[in-house]
Amino acid sequence: MVRKIRKTPFEELSFVNNCTFGPLNKPVATVKPGEVVEVETWDCFANLVKPDQTLKDVLESDTPLYDNPVTGPIYIEGAEPGDTLAIEIISISIPDMGVTTVVPGFGGLEGWLKSSPPLTKFSKIIDGKVIYTLNDERETNIPVKPFIGTIGVSPASEAISTVTPGKHGGNMDTPEVCPGNRLYLPVAAKGALLGLGDVHAVQGDGEICGTAIEIPSIVTMKVDLIKNKSIDWPRIESSDEIMTVCSARPLEDAVRLAFLELIKWLEEDYELERYDAYMFLSVAAKARLAQIVDPLFTVVAKLPKTHLQRM
Amino acid sequence: MVRKIRKTPFEELSFVNNCTFGPLNKPVATVKPGEVVEVETWDCFANLVKPDQTLKDVLESDTPLYDNPVTGPIYIEGAEPGDTLAIEIISISIPDMGVTTVVPGFGGLEGWLKSSPPLTKFSKIIDGKVIYTLNDERETNIPVKPFIGTIGVSPASEAISTVTPGKHGGNMDTPEVCPGNRLYLPVAAKGALLGLGDVHAVQGDGEICGTAIEIPSIVTMKVDLIKNKSIDWPRIESSDEIMTVCSARPLEDAVRLAFLELIKWLEEDYELERYDAYMFLSVAAKARLAQIVDPLFTVVAKLPKTHLQRM
Amino acid sequence: MVRKIRKTPFEELSFVNNCTFGPLNKPVATVKPGEVVEVETWDCFANLVKPDQTLKDVLESDTPLYDNPVTGPIYIEGAEPGDTLAIEIISISIPDMGVTTVVPGFGGLEGWLKSSPPLTKFSKIIDGKVIYTLNDERETNIPVKPFIGTIGVSPASEAISTVTPGKHGGNMDTPEVCPGNRLYLPVAAKGALLGLGDVHAVQGDGEICGTAIEIPSIVTMKVDLIKNKSIDWPRIESSDEIMTVCSARPLEDAVRLAFLELIKWLEEDYELERYDAYMFLSVAAKARLAQIVDPLFTVVAKLPKTHLQRM
Amino acid sequence: MVRKIRKTPFEELSFVNNCTFGPLNKPVATVKPGEVVEVETWDCFANLVKPDQTLKDVLESDTPLYDNPVTGPIYIEGAEPGDTLAIEIISISIPDMGVTTVVPGFGGLEGWLKSSPPLTKFSKIIDGKVIYTLNDERETNIPVKPFIGTIGVSPASEAISTVTPGKHGGNMDTPEVCPGNRLYLPVAAKGALLGLGDVHAVQGDGEICGTAIEIPSIVTMKVDLIKNKSIDWPRIESSDEIMTVCSARPLEDAVRLAFLELIKWLEEDYELERYDAYMFLSVAAKARLAQIVDPLFTVVAKLPKTHLQRM
């Protein structure tokens, strides 16, 4: 039987409990390792931007604008600092509409374009395709590739905004956090204190204007616990790739960290020496630029598993 | 008939004429727009690192180590500042061996790994596959995907090292500069003064250790000239994508520039307004991290052409 | 009468309450606006590194190593989000010894020097001078210029490590936070929740190895509250200069922010138009590189008041 | 007798010979080591911006706008790669007027301020004081502190724009290149090929709007040659400080390089071990942010000589 976790009602949302990952935040549910849960999530604007209400309307109103509110924290029984969460993402539901915005003062080309007025664009989603309106005269289709934009656990002592990615996961905006893949997160606080939200129906590399096709969703996932196994940064495993997800500024540091974590993984689990791993990545690794719009920038480094089998 | 351009003999190589792109460099050949040429190229070490001579041996010898020596400059008849070169890459020959190295003081994890001793690894290339030796006990195969690592024209007044990428092209280490694609370069000096070298049989994203599978090669390409059409940065077109290639430090600036150039292209040639283009890239663009090891870092931003047809 | 606030005993130190600035942290004292307080502070290692115990000893022991533990939070009566704290630093006591260390994995040349072993150096402080031992054979004197390395208030919802500087103040390592100057901090949480520690007897620009002459101290200061006056970043005022203190990565962004804040200050309080202010800073501003070793880097931008009088 | 070197007449200025430092540039004069020379220099706009002609006028005209044209190259007899130039700056003449501008697309807050229109401001210079007009109603005085903004030698093979600083010197915009100080530059090409221009009457730290008080000038200096002494980056010596000048992006890399060069200097000439030097800089070094507006950013790291005497 699948455990359902509902999102916090709008009027009970809190800038602390729903908009940070922190050790003092109050759990909304407790889950046993191995349980499958169905988590209802807000979109990145707490569903405030709707067909009859543009981002500009919201910004001009008195309604508090929660940034990336997450559903949680979910307390994982038995999770302690030094363990690792292994989260198998089973499915992500898609509504019939998504929203894309430009938020003034935010976005990858903020300051590089002449101005950044608040802009809102709605897209219908039909039969697994985003019907994207380029302008008044033209539209195109983009196949959905849904993923969880923000998912993380509590740091050891800090409480980090749900807008920021880091070692704890958070707002990684990484398309590889998708159905079929397993996400590993380092437990740093008792109970792990998992939270998630900010699902995207599909996103371009870099998420350059600051948002993707933003949707509310229901995420089905299995949360497992690996005891006494610690990792430094989030990792992802698909059927055919191993991946590391690191966030930093400037962007080259995110790339360096992600490759360094991949090298460590190859040393630990695949019996490769450090410099053999380094040189191999230089000829065979893949990388994805996840986003360059949040307080830290996120990069995913990948290696196909096919190269890692012993012969 | 195909015009053949031989590489400069080793003893005639010059740190100025072969290792910079500059307006005072002396052309080695003149080509008419529309001609197909077959250009013989040195590998990034002027073929000095060979099975009987590791990088360490070379560094300890008195032999001058040319960085990325290019074949050229090739004078393109009629090319003037404000024009654009359109280079159709037809084929790239693959030898039976390639080399990968770690050069002390160079590489993406320089300073992040404990040390960076000079290292050399040779790989056989058979039937379109790199036979890559992971370590003493294991090997794997990587399908070749050859491309030109360094190709560029002269800047207007500066002479830029062939190790550095920029508006003039140069050491972009961009896998999309490959057979089947068309590369556009902005002409800034009379005759364009095209040069190329540093071919790679295959490369990982980021070229993290500083080299890929480095090979000498023969590149067949058709060099066309578009008069009175100026571009700011290199661009690439494949059958199904438009791409911009920008280089900067820190890396996020390379990403921003590449997306900004893509927006300009959409404005100029695809009748999209600036903010429509910006928002669309955020949901549909692709990007590739070409390299983070040269003096400037290189990023390719891409958009599938399928989205750009008028409906 | 001066109110005394003692530091939290070592055995009661908490990685949350003493090592973050956050809205859920528990106040240890309440102070009225206008009160003069005498605050006892730990050094950056909670006084653990002592003549008989090097940093290496501490790192190898089981003792928890608190980073920059602060005394606080101090609840300021009546302080609410949107107000500004004005802290007049009256005096900073100097002990007879200070310590400088290299912490492995930390420091401005981490990765640029061959290695970074744990190193510890003690300096006597006599008659206002640090007797600094350059090496076994040589010593020199450095006049003390004491300042508060870490002083900040709670952010609105996040809890930020006392190792990190930001809009809330924190680990700014800014020598201008010294006796005679007034520090302004933006109140973002009820009661402001002020904390301080990490005093330095003197520091070089950039604090390049990661520590200065680190000392425990007693700081005497007057804490005032400016109601309904909000600022975005910390500011400092001396008898002859106005200063802004901003932290970011990469470092150029800290510089840009600090100059931008100075421009805003000139617009708000000194009746200068934006571009007049911009151009004037370019010919008359001063800047100090405070530190490049913490998670964000800190820069102080300054303008002599002499230029700001109306004529 | 002092040797006079006149600036190239405007109609003979060249974007290559006067606007790059490069090994193929043609010398305009030959000087013997030890000679005192008086060099006439253009201001950064080749004196085009004059009281009757704003920057906007110039940009809208057809007149070519030379960036930082230098007087030179000056061939230094006997100078060869591996040597060091030691340039004693004796005096810098000050005209009665200087100019400050905002150049569109250029400047430290480009993109951070709403727009950057071309702006021009003239300042009278009387009795060693810049009479600076803050706005229509107010003016202030700034004492002149003249220095050479752009001075450099040829790189080994590249030709670098006079707008860019680097190992070869160039557009360092460093106020310490002033009368009374000795500048050391690494010789990389035969004859050194020295050039200079872009003198500033005074400049704020960071040169944030992109220009200072820009003036044409006559620079008197003595050019000496130190044979077989090689340095990696420019250095400066005053009567009481040793200084290193490094340029990079992001800015923190310029700081790291400058401190690393200072450490090397302490190792070579002052018998300090690497880590003793590192820790000492952290408590006693000074740094100046020279500029963050050119293609690379420049930082000066300094140490008072008083600390370096053997006791």
Per-residue pLDDT at C309 = 79
Whole-model pTM: value is 0.96
Class of domain B236-308: alpha beta
When pLDDT is cut at 50, 70 and 90, the band that residue A309 belongs to is: confident
Other C-beta atoms closer than 10 Å to the C-beta of A143 total: 10
- Each residue of D238-251: pLDDT tens digit? 999 999 999 999 99
| A221-273 per-position pLDDT tens digit | 999 999 999 999 999 999 999 999 999 999 999 999 999 999 999 999 999 99
Residue contact B115–C111, C-beta within 8 A: no
Average pLDDT over residues A71-83: 98
Chain C residues with CB under 8 Å of B105 CB are none
Is the CB of D289 inside 8 Å of chain C's CB atoms?
yes
State which residue of chain C sits closest to B105, comparing Cα positions: C112
Q: Which of B132, B135, B256 sits opposite A273 (nearest CB)?
A: B135
Q: Which of B156, B157, B161 is closest, CB to CB, to D157? A: B161
pLDDT number for residue C310: 62
Compute the count of residue pairs across chains C and D with CB atoms less than 8 Å apart.
197
Is the minimum CB–CB distance between C216 and chain D shorter than 8 Å?
A: no
Q: Give the CATH number of domain C3-226.
A: 2.60.120.580
Tokens at C8, concatenated: 């939290």
Residue of B nearest to D250 (CA): B250
Structure tokens at A254: 């995110």
Residue with structure tokens 């190259």?
D73
> Between C23, C156, C161, which is nearest A158 by CB?
C161
CATH top-level class for B3-230? mainly beta
The beta-carbon neighbor of B112 closest among C111, C114, C115 is: C111
pLDDT at D113: 87
Chain D residue nearest residue A250, CA to CA: D250
Smallest Cβ distance to C250: which of B114, B115, B250?
B250
Q: Which residues on A lie below 8 Å from D112 (Cβ)?
A: 111
Q: What are phi and psi of D223, to 5 degrees?
A: -105, 110
Amino acid D43 reads: D
Residue D151 has pLDDT above 60, yes or no: yes
pLDDT above 90: percentage of residues in chain A: 95
pLDDT tens-digit map of D225-238: 999 999 999 999 99
Could you tell me what percentage of chain D is helix, strand and coil, using 3-state DSSP and rounding each to the nearest 5? 15, 40, 45
The whole-number pLDDT of residue A310 equals 62
Q: So where are chain C's domains?
A: 3-226, 235-308
Is the pLDDT confidence value at A116 over 80?
A: no
**Cβ-Cβ contacts under 8 Å, B15 against chain D:** 156-157
A114 touches chain D (CB under 8 A): yes
* Spatial CB neighbours of A53, under 8 Å, sequence gap ≥ 6: none
Choose, out of B13, B14, B15, B16, the residue to mutate when testing the contact with D (most D CBs < 10 Å). B16
SS3 B131: strand
From chain C residues 165-204, the ones with a CB under 8 A of any chain D CB are 202-204
Please tell me the predicted confidence (pLDDT) of residue A115. Answer: 76
Return mean pLDDT, chain D. Answer: 96
What 3-state class would DSSP assign to D24? coil
| D277 burial type by CB count under 10 A (0-12 exposed, 13-18 middle, 19+ buried) | buried
Chain A closest CA to C23's CA: distance in Å? Answer: 9
- What pLDDT is recorded for position D310? 62
Chain A closest-CA separation from residue C68 CA (Å): 13
User: Quick one: pLDDT at residue C189?
Assistant: 98
DSSP C43-90: -TTTT--BTTB-HHHHHHSSS---SS--EEEEEETT--TT-EEEEEEE
Please state, in angstroms and rounded to a whole number, the distance separating the CA atoms of residues A86 and C15: 26
Q: What is the pLDDT of residues D191-208, one digit of tens each?
A: 999 999 999 999 999 999
* Fold type of domain A235-308: Endonuclease I-creI (3.10.28)
Residue B108: its pLDDT value, please? 93
Mean pLDDT of D92-108: 95
The answer to whether D22 contacts chain B (CB < 8 Å) is yes
Whether C112 contacts chain B with CB within 8 A: yes
Q: Between C209, C289, C297, which is nearest D278 by CB?
A: C209
Residue A311 has pLDDT above 60, yes or no: no
**Pairwise CB contact (< 8 Å): A112 & D114:** no
**Residue stretches of chain C with pLDDT short of 50:** 311
The residue ranges of chain B whose pLDDT is under 50 are 311
Q: Which chains touch B (3 or more CB pairs under 8 A)?
A: A, C, D
Identical fold for domains C3-226 and C235-308, yes or no, is: no
- Specify the pLDDT at position A114: 77
ipTM for the predicted complex: 0.95
